[in-house]
Structure 1
Amino acid sequence: MTITLTQPEEPGESRRSDNSTDGVTTEIIWVTPEIAAHFLSKDSLNRRLNTERVTALADAIRRKEWKLTHQGIALDETGGLLDGQHRLHAIVEAGIPVQMFVFHGLPREVFPFLDTGKQRTGADTLLSTGAKHRPLLSSTIRHVTLFNTMPNEPWRGSRAHVSNGRILSAYNVDRDRYTEAVAVSRELSAHLFASSTAVAASYFVTTEAAPAANLDDWISGLKSGASLEEGDARLALREVPRDTQKRGSRRRMTMQDQMAIYIKAWNAWVDPQKAGELNLRRLRKGEKMPIPVELKFGKAN
């Protein structure tokens, strides 16, 4: 079967470079699933396929997060595939064409030197913003995204992947609140059982739902515990032991467990009448993630 590498009926133009260095030429084309499958049929040297990586890339394509970059497809002198197998498999899985650089005529001996660098992290992506505490910030954005998109599904594996582009976009849209959440978590995490990420992500989603809540009282109560009466949700949250794993249990407390406990305490503090009996424990099997109580301006606390 012969496939002509012409641009499919998609926006943009297919461009080919007239310059050649030692027989290497480049072009930008729209790679359709059919073209991707054709390239993959020439795969003879690539590494073992990481299916989670493929699924994560395919999900990014479906969400229209794909961007044209220098990372594309590399073919050797005979048309064999040297680099790009995960990107090509993702196009096939997504069933959506994307624009991509294609390098033709690379010597086969360059294969060992391809994709040997460290993968860029979300924290690396935020470097250009000048933000502080980027690892914590990146992790916070990721878990806020997971809370908002798949609160009751496991936050692991390829389905829980949040692309660097998505992290950067979320930060640019709401950078002040993410910056505040990270700053508060760095103050509070020393006084609570939860990790800095769990505190920051929980703070973000709860204050987003209840911007009219008295945040100074919430924060000061958690930090000092002074004058808090028995039954106060802040005191209960402070008293959740750091080692909450039951003796003899192998199940570690997940990020979802930590956020659920924080949100339950928050809800009981914001709206005690709806709180009922406050039981700050990890999520039971089948239990859904609690939803933060809303408290908008104009409503009484």
Structure 2
Amino acid sequence: MARAKAAQRAQTGAAAIQQAGRIVQVQGGGADMPGFSIELVTPDSAAKLLQSRRPGAGDNPVAINAYAESMREGRWILNGMPLILSRGGVLLDGVQRLRACIKAGVPFLTVLAQNIPDDVLHTIDQQRRRSFAGVLETRGILHAHALQSALVKLIRYDDGTMLRGAGTAAWSRMDRVLRANPDLEAAVGQSLDSPATALSEAVRTPLMFMGLRVDAEATLRFLDAVADPERYSPMEPGARVRDLIDITRGDPTTRMKPVTLFAVCIKALNATFSGRHLRSYTWLDKTANPTKGEDFPALDGYKGLTDPGHADETEATETKLREAVEKLAAEDGVFPLAIETVTPAMAKRYLTHNTLNRKIVAAHVDAIARDIRAGNWMMNAQPICFARDGRLLNGQHRLSAVIQAGESIEVPVMRGLPEAAYATYDIHAKKGPQLGAGFENFGDRPLVAAAAVLLWKRELKPSGIRNAKPTPSEVMKIVEQHPRLLELRTFGRKMIEFGRGSVLAYAAYCIERDSPELGRVFLERFETGADLPRGHLILELRKRMQILRRERVSQEDQLKEMLGAWARFKDHPDLDRLKRAS
């Protein structure tokens, strides 16, 4: 039955590929070798490819919307990151991009990797996150992080989502808005030079940008009053805001959240514009108090960011893509991607082209190097990428790990990509923990993976390494070698009232492993709390764990409390009486 399903998925995948516009192709030396091609994926072929997705692959609406927006705008770039089909015809990676293609109604160019081993799923997408600020830094833009923060707040203000925890905007939209509002960069620089440091930069910068567009003189007066209230009347709005900041900042319970301070400042800036000064400026979040709360205030006269949006450019986008297809097809089948055996010497040479990239994270390099040394490295079709001018765009951690491990790896390498591809790698949606095809039928995969991470950190982590995490291969091995940890996920999930499910599952595993018979007694009584006398050690543990859960203490503190109680229980001088009471 499984073989028949795999064959059906393979046929579905092959049929979908025939529907796509194949440009060029490179194939390995044999039938079992990976093959790569550049494809023009249409909405129809995307729908067919999705029929072969793996059972556990779900949709990520945020990612789909972001991708679809980029595709509609014609800003989706061939960046080397492939759609991945396994040897069994299963779509291992690319669900969100294919969904976005259908949603946008436009085709997109992509690398398609086929005949990839089915067991590489857990190794896909191990990259570290970049930020949009990192992209801005590579363009030489000053104060990139402050600029990104201001962009996010201003977009959320325009969208009316200041109170809804809407998160950040899509990178493509931030890039579009930044180009359309060149005065934002100047406002950021002016804000960072402002003496009004009592007003946090996260509030000061977007407020200054908005105010300068309405009334520059009044805005600078407001900020000057915040910086030096003694020079103004006590009723001056900026001075009143400074008093409020000084009164509330010393106590964490009264200190204003940034969104509250932003709202108060908008009200006070409106008063500065109008000259109608108030005794106090307050704002109550409507989501926190629906009865007395207010909507987020609007700045009088501010018309919002210039956002050209995306017009219906479907036809233009398709024309651009067809032109790209024709250009690639005219290059006599030259394919800029090849599987290479990258040696430490080659890695050093490649890293000489690593300019204007983000900082290398040592812990991530350590993790990949451990996999390489342990023989766990798997060629998963995700390439190391170079721009047309030779600059390394993606892969610096893998190359650094090759040097650290002192061993070679096989990896796809793609060259000739546009420089703009650098900004696109981390708009790809990050996946939750993947435990491979063998664990697709188990529930609570994130919980199991987190419990395995705890075991690794406490029992297997190499000495002398700080802030390290296990690689997906190491997590897989832990789950395979400790099957009881997988079974105890139900205990962790059931006891979620008392702590993190992963902490309780790992704690239960440690307790059972320490003393199977006595451990079962302890865990059963901890689970029910039934028929225990007042003041019993396990009842006290239940109360304490509930308090720690409400206080949201760290996993380490929860685990310490649980294992500490277990140690007191098993070492109690009157253990027999304690067991009978339990």
Do they superpose with TM above 0.5? yes
Change (3 A) 1:64 1:54: same
Change (3 A) 1:62 1:186: farther
**Letter aligned with residue 261 of structure 2:** Q
**Letter aligned with residue 17 of structure 1:** V
**Letter aligned with residue 259 of structure 1:** F
2:8 corresponding residue in structure 1? none
Of all paired residues, the percent bearing the same amino acid is 19
Unaligned ranges ≥5, structure 1: 9-13, 297-301
Question: Offset of 1:116 from its aligned partner?
Answer: 0.7
Question: Offset of 1:144 from its aligned partner?
Answer: 0.9
1:77 corresponding residue in structure 2? 87
Question: Offset of 1:227 from its aligned partner?
Answer: 1.7
1:144 corresponding residue in structure 2? 154
Question: Offset of 1:117 from its aligned partner?
Answer: 0.3
Question: Offset of 1:237 from its aligned partner?
Answer: 1.4
Question: Offset of 1:266 from its aligned partner?
Answer: 0.9
1:11 corresponding residue in structure 2? none
In the alignment, the residues of structure 1 paired with residue 179 and residue 156 of structure 2 have an alpha-carbon distance, to the nearest angstrom, of 18
Summarize deviations over 1:209-232 as a string: whole Å, max 9, x none: 334x35543333221223210211
Matched, 1:26 2:37: yes
1:210 corresponding residue in structure 2? 215
Change (3 A) 1:84 1:154: farther
Unaligned ranges ≥5, structure 2: 1-10, 287-292, 304-582
Q: TM-score, normalised by structure 1?
A: 0.76
101, 104, 115: which one pairs with 2:125? 115
Change (3 A) 1:268 1:90: same
243, 256, 265: which one pairs with 1:239? 243
**Letter aligned with residue 25 of structure 2:** D
In the alignment, the residues of structure 2 paired with residue 248 and residue 196 of structure 1 have an alpha-carbon distance, to the nearest angstrom, of 19
284, 292, 297: which one pairs with 2:299? 292
Conserved 8 A contact 2:53-2:91: yes
The 3-state SS of whatever aligns with 2:84 is: strand
Change (3 A) 1:249 1:225: closer
In the alignment, the residues of structure 1 paired with residue 87 and residue 134 of structure 2 have an alpha-carbon distance, to the nearest angstrom, of 35
Change (3 A) 1:23 1:284: closer
Summarize deviations over 1:48-84 as a string: whole Å, max 9, x none: 6544434444455566654443234111233211211
Matched, 1:96 2:109: no
1:299 corresponding residue in structure 2? none
Change (3 A) 1:221 1:241: closer
123, 133, 138: which one pairs with 1:128? 138
The 3-state SS of whatever aligns with 1:18 is: strand
Change (3 A) 1:71 1:30: same
Q: TM-score, normalised by structure 2?
A: 0.42
Conserved 8 A contact 2:208-2:219: no
Question: Offset of 1:47 from its aligned partner?
Answer: 5.8
Conserved 8 A contact 1:24-1:103: yes
The 3-state SS of whatever aligns with 1:239 is: helix
1:260 corresponding residue in structure 2? 263
The 3-state SS of whatever aligns with 2:85 is: strand
In the alignment, the residues of structure 1 paired with residue 161 and residue 93 of structure 2 have an alpha-carbon distance, to the nearest angstrom, of 37
Question: Offset of 1:169 from its aligned partner?
Answer: 3.0
Question: Offset of 1:162 from its aligned partner?
Answer: 0.8
Change (3 A) 1:75 1:85: same
In the alignment, the residues of structure 2 paired with residue 255 and residue 38 of structure 1 have an alpha-carbon distance, to the nearest angstrom, of 47
The 3-state SS of whatever aligns with 1:241 is: helix
1:106 corresponding residue in structure 2? 116
**Letter aligned with residue 210 of structure 1:** D
- Over aligned residue pairs, what C-alpha RMSD do you find? 3.5
1:87 corresponding residue in structure 2? 97
222, 244, 247: which one pairs with 2:226? 222
In the alignment, the residues of structure 2 paired with residue 281 and residue 63 of structure 1 have an alpha-carbon distance, to the nearest angstrom, of 41
**Letter aligned with residue 230 of structure 1:** P
Conserved 8 A contact 2:23-2:39: yes
Determine which structure has more spread, i.e. the larger CA radius of gyration.
2
In the alignment, the residues of structure 1 paired with residue 41 and residue 109 of structure 2 have an alpha-carbon distance, to the nearest angstrom, of 6
In the alignment, the residues of structure 2 paired with residue 169 and residue 215 of structure 1 have an alpha-carbon distance, to the nearest angstrom, of 27
Matched, 1:199 2:208: no
In the alignment, the residues of structure 2 paired with residue 138 and residue 230 of structure 1 have an alpha-carbon distance, to the nearest angstrom, of 35
Change (3 A) 1:46 1:118: farther
More helix by share: 2
In the alignment, the residues of structure 1 paired with residue 143 and residue 264 of structure 2 have an alpha-carbon distance, to the nearest angstrom, of 25
Aligned length: 279
Matched, 1:41 2:51: yes
In the alignment, the residues of structure 1 paired with residue 127 and residue 55 of structure 2 have an alpha-carbon distance, to the nearest angstrom, of 18
